[in-house]
């Protein structure tokens, strides 16, 4: 082999190194066009997928797969592909795509939310809760607050549907402070709080809605119902009245309105009630109690104990027949004695006396303990 | 070695390393251009859809086969096949020579074949393109014959590294399959070339991993059993693949020359027909590997794709179409792994991990079984996925596949191809597996009699008369060992020096001594300077464990030959 001197070799190496500059430039030119072309193809196929997604998700899947073959780094297209797969009822494949995205960006809120929904759909509550939390804490490119709220609401619903109301409550309570001035949304959260067993928190939300829109019948009704169950009949009556003026109330709410009305008009222990008015209410209560006892006596198939109790009550009621408004105004003990008989009559089980009137139910509530609270 | 020649050697080595970097850069640029060329041609020939339309899918692979056959047979006869053996031939037969025409031909014909839908991959051609560029540069620099031989594998590593975007894999493959030994000079050059080519490739195409794998976790320890099954199946499928090539290739080559023009076209036509139903088999198939990893196919489809790809690749390859086997092997492995996972999910849903992990392990399994480079197969999977946690299943599965394949097909694919082509290239696998004899296999037990330096010649003679051997080891007072023969003892005794101590007469055997685990090579070098060498304990050089003489080595060699 011919000998090559160090200078010749250095020169050749120098030329080889220098030649890398035009080689790089040429390759750069080629690659730039190549990448642009691939990018254009990725965008084109992605758009095609977007167009197909609504009508033919299976075709959209192929389109997004093609888009990804030209731009595997395009995370948006992978997410679109996952959504297309979900729409095409191929959740397992969608999950695999989402897990890839998750592996690359574990803090991506959108990916976590999609994974959470898929896991929830599979009944995998532990994973779903983990992904929901990651979605709530994760990064969102746009609409972060709304998306986080959506994730938390989904999570709360999931927890409730799996018998974990306390955990659901915690999620909902965490939502309260960040709720926007959106009556429908606040009402929904309030409703969820009631379902999760935190009605006292829900009332605050309904109040907020009514401040925003005093004509909101739904919020007024829900507030009235919660107040009724909490024993605040004055507020319940006010809110249910307000709701009834805007929209027809459903059966329960209608009933609550009637009963709360009666409670307010019949309650002899109502605050700031004059002695005369109290006496009138006691006499009215005695009339209602007598009517109930008559119904009880007319109801067949009592056991011996109930019959004996009804007989005793009849005797006690008969003893109150001579009471006058004046006597009741003067003697508070007479009031207490009369009401004791009334309450005992109203405490007889409904099964023993047939259908109860709203007056009877109101008196039973006044007699306490409140039936709603004992349920 | 004089300081001057040492300086010269150092300079030579430094120059070689600089050349390795330059080779790496050019190989990186070439591989980038190669990939662009494949894609460019594919878009024009088959369109941008993953499932090309009817006339194209049937006609293009066949037509491209015809054109490629014409180019290969008329202009570039040295570009048939994958390129790995051609690089080995350059190293072991042609003193590192690969013509530039071969490089250009490989680039052109492989780009046409792969872009046109033939079921082959771009990695092995990239390896040969890198090797060819390195060879051309080495010749231009008029490197010494020894350096020129090794510059081709250096370029091969660079080409493969850029093609896979995986320098460790490339270095290991070239060391494991092409060079077969680890020497500092070659390793340094191979590493530098691989790294510079990958940096160049990433400069243009980014550092995205070859495969985007969903996060992996072992669902249950018992899942390792499934990976073991995958290893068995991978070994079996590899075996079928290699056997098919082994049987069909020589038969097709034995057909008349004019059929060679048609063989790639017929292969292309059949692949095109298969692609009407399974478009995934066209080309290298990386998109389909990605889809398999993301659970986009059911188990029936996965099995079908594995089988059809096996047949399609066999057809393309045995027809003499230029192109590589790496990508199709990975494709088959991914489908096989995916199928195992999908079936396991039906049988034991609670203990099945993600399908991406199985597809990934399946790729390594097929690579280990088919290409018989077990180390490379393990590191390749870790490197291309950038996922270290997968290594345990990969090791289990790959080892099983390798052992199954080796047990049932003694000659590896590349060695088989070389033999079919009439070249006797060294088999790295056989060299790895060859039993290495060491000093302890050849040494004889220490002589029953050891003399001491403090003894007089008379005393030594008296003791020597008790045994029949002619040569005695003498433990010297100052430490170390020497030898004295019976005849020397007698001669000195006769010259009335019997009262003298042995210490004064025995010449110490110069160190180093031999150790039982040392190779025959070392033993030969030591015995070159002395007739016999003591074999001592490594922790206690004063403790003699045996003796070795040249005739011991010869005796072992003869016994091995007779066996």
> Coil, strand or helix: which one is B134?
helix
Q: Rounded distance, CA A151 to CA A34, Å?
A: 40
The answer to whether the Cα torsion of B511, B517, B522, B524 is positive or negative is positive
Percentage of chain B with pLDDT > 90?
A: 48
Residue B546 host element (H or E):
strand B544-549
Measured from the Cβ of residue A257, the count of other Cβ atoms closer than 10 Å reads: 23
* pLDDT for residue A374 is more than 80: no
Q: How many CA atoms lie within 13 A of B439 on its CB side?
A: 27
CA dihedral of residues B149, B155, B157, B163 (deg, nearest 10): -150
Q: What is the mean pLDDT of chain B?
A: 88
Residue A80 touches chain B, beta carbons under 8 Å: no
Structure-model confidence comparison of residues B158 and A317, the more confident one? B158
Are B281 and B309 in contact, with CB atoms under 8 Å apart? yes
A2, A66, A100 member nearest B142 (Cβ)? A2
Residue of A nearest to B144 (CA): A1
Measured from the Cβ of residue B283, the count of other Cβ atoms closer than 10 Å reads: 30
> Coil, strand or helix: which one is B544?
strand
Q: What is the mean pLDDT of chain A?
A: 87
Buried-state track A315-331, b at ≥16 Cβ within 10 A, e below 16: ebbeebeebeeeebbee
Tokens linked to A96: 């695999």
CB pairs below 8 Å between A and B: how many? Answer: 98
| Contact at CB, B214 and A16, closer than 8 angstroms | no
Residue A69 touches chain B, beta carbons under 8 Å: yes
Residue of A nearest to B48 (CA): A41
Residue A2 — left, alpha, or beta (φ > 0 → left; ψ -120 to 50 → alpha)? Answer: beta
Q: Rounded distance, CA A267 to CA A263, Å?
A: 5
| Contact at CB, B144 and A12, closer than 8 angstroms | no
The set of residues, in sequence order, having a beta carbon less than 8 Å from that of A259 and lying 6+ positions away, is A228, A358, A361, A362, A365
Render pLDDT for B89-98 as a digit per residue (tens, 0 to 9).
888 888 888 9
Least confidently predicted of A91-105, A311-325, B424-438, B477-491: B424-438
- Say what the pLDDT of residue B510 is: 76
Residue A66 touches chain B, beta carbons under 8 Å: yes
- Say what the pLDDT of residue B8 is: 57
Q: Are strands B532-536 and B450-452 parallel, antiparallel or unpaired?
A: unpaired
* pLDDT for residue B352 is more than 90: no
Least confidently predicted of A39-48, A85-94, B552-561: B552-561
| Contact at CB, A1 and B144, closer than 8 angstroms | yes
**Closest by alpha carbon to B396, among B218, B176, B214, B232?**
B232
Degrees (nearest 5) of the Cα angle B161, B167, B172? 95
Tokens 């139903």 belong to residue: B277
Q: Are strands B544-549 and B532-536 parallel, antiparallel or unpaired?
A: antiparallel
Q: Rounded distance, CA A139 to CA A282, Å?
A: 65
- Provide, as residue numbers in chain A, all residues whose Cβ is less than 8 Å from the Cβ of B142: 1-4, 9
| Contact at CB, A65 and B206, closer than 8 angstroms | no
Q: Rounded distance, CA B333 to CA B306, Å?
A: 8
* pLDDT for residue B475 is more than 80: yes
* pLDDT for residue A375 is more than 80: no
Measured from the Cβ of residue B45, the count of other Cβ atoms closer than 10 Å reads: 18
Render pLDDT for A135-163 as a digit per residue (tens, 0 to 9).
999 999 888 899 999 999 999 999 999 98
Q: Rounded distance, CA A168 to CA A311, Å?
A: 51
> Coil, strand or helix: which one is B514?
strand
- Say what the pLDDT of residue B114 is: 96
A38, A65, A100 member nearest B50 (Cβ)? A65
Cα A341 to the center of its chain, rounded Å: 44
What φ, ψ does residue A20 adopt, rounded to 5°? -65, -30
Q: Rounded distance, CA B420 to CA B468, Å?
A: 57
- Say what the pLDDT of residue B447 is: 67
A 83-102 near B (Cβ less than 8 A)? 92-93, 95-97, 99-100, 102
**Mean pLDDT of the region A193-210:** 89
Q: Rounded distance, CA B133 to CA B478, Å?
A: 60
- Provide, as residue numbers in chain B, all residues whose Cβ is less than 8 Å from the Cβ of A102: 214-215
Tokens linked to A99: 């897990």
| Contact at CB, B22 and A20, closer than 8 angstroms | yes
| Contact at CB, A38 and B39, closer than 8 angstroms | yes
* pLDDT for residue B454 is more than 90: no
B25, B51, B212 member nearest A20 (Cβ)? B25
- Say what the pLDDT of residue A133 is: 95
Structure-model confidence comparison of residues B430 and B144, the more confident one? B144
> Chain A: nearest CA to B37, how far in angstroms?
9
- Say what the pLDDT of residue B49 is: 92
B534 strand-pairing partners: B547
**Mean pLDDT of the region A7-28:** 89
Cα B301 to the center of its chain, rounded Å: 33
> Coil, strand or helix: which one is A56?
coil
Least confidently predicted of B76-80, B110-114, B126-130, B205-209: B205-209
Indicate the pLDDT class of residue A4, thresholds 50, 70 and 90. Answer: low
Q: Rounded distance, CA B246 to CA B425, Å?
A: 17
The set of residues, in sequence order, having a beta carbon less than 8 Å from that of B277 and lying 6+ positions away, is none
- Say what the pLDDT of residue B6 is: 55
- Say what the pLDDT of residue A301 is: 62
Indicate the pLDDT class of residue B5, thresholds 50, 70 and 90. Answer: low
Render pLDDT for A243-287 as a digit per residue (tens, 0 to 9).
888 777 787 888 888 888 888 888 888 878 888 888 889 999 999
* pLDDT for residue B7 is more than 70: no
- Provide, as residue numbers in chain A, all residues whose Cβ is less than 8 Å from the Cβ of B51: 62
* pLDDT for residue B238 is more than 50: yes
- Say what the pLDDT of residue A371 is: 41
Indicate the pLDDT class of residue B275, thresholds 50, 70 and 90. Answer: very high
| Contact at CB, A96 and B295, closer than 8 angstroms | yes
**Mean pLDDT of the region B68-77:** 94
Q: Which of A92, A94, A95 to mutate to test the interface with B (most CBs of B within 10 A)?
A: A92
Least confidently predicted of A30-34, A270-274, B38-42: A270-274
Structure-model confidence comparison of residues B372 and B184, the more confident one? B372
Residue of A nearest to B33 (CA): A27
* pLDDT for residue B187 is more than 60: yes
Structure-model confidence comparison of residues A134 and B16, the more confident one? A134
- Say what the pLDDT of residue B201 is: 95
Are B309 and B343 in contact, with CB atoms under 8 Å apart? no
The set of residues, in sequence order, having a beta carbon less than 8 Å from that of A246 and lying 6+ positions away, is A215, A216, A217, A220
State the complex-level ipTM: 0.77
pTM, 2 dp: 0.74
Residue of B nearest to A9 (CA): B141
Indicate the pLDDT class of residue A370, thresholds 50, 70 and 90. Answer: very low
**Mean pLDDT of the region A51-72:** 92
Structure-model confidence comparison of residues B331 and A298, the more confident one? B331
**Mean pLDDT of the region B96-120:** 94
Q: What is the side-by-side strand order in the sheet with B450-452?
A: B450-452, B471-475, B481-485
Are A65 and B296 in contact, with CB atoms under 8 Å apart? yes
Are B95 and B145 in contact, with CB atoms under 8 Å apart? yes
- Say what the pLDDT of residue B10 is: 53
* pLDDT for residue B489 is more than 50: yes
**Closest by alpha carbon to A85, among A99, A71, A75, A95?**
A95
The set of residues, in sequence order, having a beta carbon less than 8 Å from that of A299 and lying 6+ positions away, is A352, A353, A354
**Closest by alpha carbon to B353, among A14, A207, A95?**
A95
| Contact at CB, B294 and A38, closer than 8 angstroms | no
């Amino acid at each position: 082999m011919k000998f090559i001197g160090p200078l010749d070799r250095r020169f050749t190496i120098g030329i080889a190194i220098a030649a890398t500059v035009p080689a790089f430039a040429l390759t750069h030119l080629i690659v730039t066009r190549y990448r642009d072309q691939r990018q254009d193809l990725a965008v084109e196929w992605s758009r095609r997928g977007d167009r197909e997604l609504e009508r033919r998700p299976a075709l959209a899947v192929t389109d997004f797969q093609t888009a990804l073959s030209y731009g595997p780094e395009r995370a948006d297209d992978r997410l679109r592909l996952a959504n297309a797969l979900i729409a095409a009822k191929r959740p397992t494949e969608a999950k695999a795509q989402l897990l890839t995205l998750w592996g690359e960006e574990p803090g991506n809120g959108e990916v976590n939310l999609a994974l959470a929904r898929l896991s929830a759909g599979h009944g995998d509550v532990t994973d779903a809760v983990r992904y929901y939390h990651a979605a709530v804490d994760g990064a969102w490119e746009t609409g972060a607050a709304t998306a986080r709220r959506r994730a938390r609401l989904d999570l709360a619903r999931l927890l409730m549907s799996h018998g974990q109301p306390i955990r659901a409550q915690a999620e909902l309570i965490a939502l309260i402070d960040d709720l926007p001035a959106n009556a429908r949304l606040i009402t929904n959260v309030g409703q969820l709080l009631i379902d999760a067993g935190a009605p006292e928190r829900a009332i605050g939300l309904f109040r907020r809605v009514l401040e925003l829109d005093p004509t909101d019948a739904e919020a007024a009704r829900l507030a009235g119902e919660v107040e009724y169950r909490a024993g605040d009949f004055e507020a319940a009556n006010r809110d249910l009245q307000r709701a009834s003026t805007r929209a027809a109330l459903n059966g329960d709410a209608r009933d609550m309105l009637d009963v709360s009305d009666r409670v307010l008009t019949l309650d002899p222990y109502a605050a700031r009630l004059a002695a005369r008015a109290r006496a009138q209410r006691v006499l009215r209560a005695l009339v209602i109690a007598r009517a109930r006892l008559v119904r009880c006596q007319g109801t067949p198939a009592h056991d011996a104990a109930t019959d004996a109790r009804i007989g005793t009550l009849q005797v006690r009621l008969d003893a109150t027949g001579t009471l006058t408004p004046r006597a009741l105004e003067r003697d508070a003990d007479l009031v207490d004695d009369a009401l004791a008989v009334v309450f005992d009559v109203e405490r007889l089980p409904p099964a023993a006396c047939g259908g109860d009137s709203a007056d009877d139910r109101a008196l039973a509530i006044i007699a306490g303990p409140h039936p709603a609270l004992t349920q | 070695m004089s300081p001057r020649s040492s300086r010269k050697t150092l300079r030579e080595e430094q120059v070689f390393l600089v050349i390795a970097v330059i080779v790496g850069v050019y190989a990186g640029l070439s591989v980038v251009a190669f990939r662009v060329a494949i894609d460019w041609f594919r878009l024009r020939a088959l369109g941008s859809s993953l499932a090309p339309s009817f006339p194209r899918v049937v006609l293009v692979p066949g037509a491209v086969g015809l054109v490629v056959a014409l180019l290969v047979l008329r202009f570039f006869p040295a570009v048939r096949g994958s390129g790995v053996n051609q690089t080995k031939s350059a190293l072991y037969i042609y003193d590192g020579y690969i013509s530039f025409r071969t490089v250009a031909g490989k680039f052109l014909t492989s780009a046409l074949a792969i872009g046109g839908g033939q079921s082959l991959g771009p990695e092995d051609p990239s390896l040969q393109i890198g090797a060819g560029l390195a060879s051309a540069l080495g010749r231009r620099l008029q490197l010494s014959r020894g350096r020129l031989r090794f510059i081709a594998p250096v370029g091969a590593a660079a080409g493969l590294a850029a093609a896979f975007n995986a320098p460790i894999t490339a270095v290991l493959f070239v060391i494991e399959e092409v060079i077969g030994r680890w020497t500092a000079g070659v390793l340094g050059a191979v590493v530098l070339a691989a790294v510079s080519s990958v940096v160049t490739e990433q400069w243009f195409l980014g550092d995205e991993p070859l495969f985007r794998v969903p996060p992996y976790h072992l669902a249950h320890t018992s899942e390792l059993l499934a990976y073991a099954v995958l290893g068995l199946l991978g070994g079996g499928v590899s075996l079928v693949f290699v056997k098919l090539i082994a049987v069909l290739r020589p038969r097709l080559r034995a057909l008349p020359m004019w059929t060679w023009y048609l063989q790639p076209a017929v292969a292309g036509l059949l692949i095109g027909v298969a692609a009407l139903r399974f478009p995934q088999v066209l080309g290298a198939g990386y998109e389909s590997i990605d889809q398999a990893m993301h659970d986009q196919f059911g188990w029936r489809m996965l099995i079908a794709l594995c089988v059809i790809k096996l047949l399609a690749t066999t057809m393309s390859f045995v027809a003499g179409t230029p192109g590589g086997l790496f990508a199709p092997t990975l494709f088959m492995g991914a489908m096989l792994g995916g199928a195992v996972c999908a079936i396991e999910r039906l049988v034991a849903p609670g203990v099945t991990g993600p399908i991406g992990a199985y597809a990934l392990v399946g790729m390594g399994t097929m690579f280990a079984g088919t290409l018989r480079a077990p180390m490379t197969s393990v590191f390749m999977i870790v490197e291309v996925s950038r996922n270290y946690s997968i290594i345990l299943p990969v090791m289990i599965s790959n080892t099983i596949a390798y052992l199954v394949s080796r047990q049932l097909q003694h000659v590896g694919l590349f060695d088989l191809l070389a033999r079919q082509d009439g070249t006797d290239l060294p088999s790295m696998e056989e060299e790895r597996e060859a039993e290495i004899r060491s000093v302890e296999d050849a040494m004889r037990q220490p002589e029953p009699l050891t003399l001491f330096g403090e003894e007089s010649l008379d005393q030594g003679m008296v003791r020597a008369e008790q045994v029949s051997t002619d040569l005695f080891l003498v433990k010297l007072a100052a430490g170390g060992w020497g030898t004295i023969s019976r005849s020397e003892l007698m001669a000195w005794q006769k010259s009335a020096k019997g009262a003298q101590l042995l210490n004064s007469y025995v010449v110490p055997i110069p160190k180093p001594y031999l150790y039982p685990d040392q190779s025959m090579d070392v033993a030969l070098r030591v015995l070159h300077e002395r007739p016999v060498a003591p074999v001592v304990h490594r922790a206690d050089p004063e403790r003699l464990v045996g003796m070795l003489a040249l005739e011991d080595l010869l005796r072992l060699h003869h016994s091995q030959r007779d066996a």
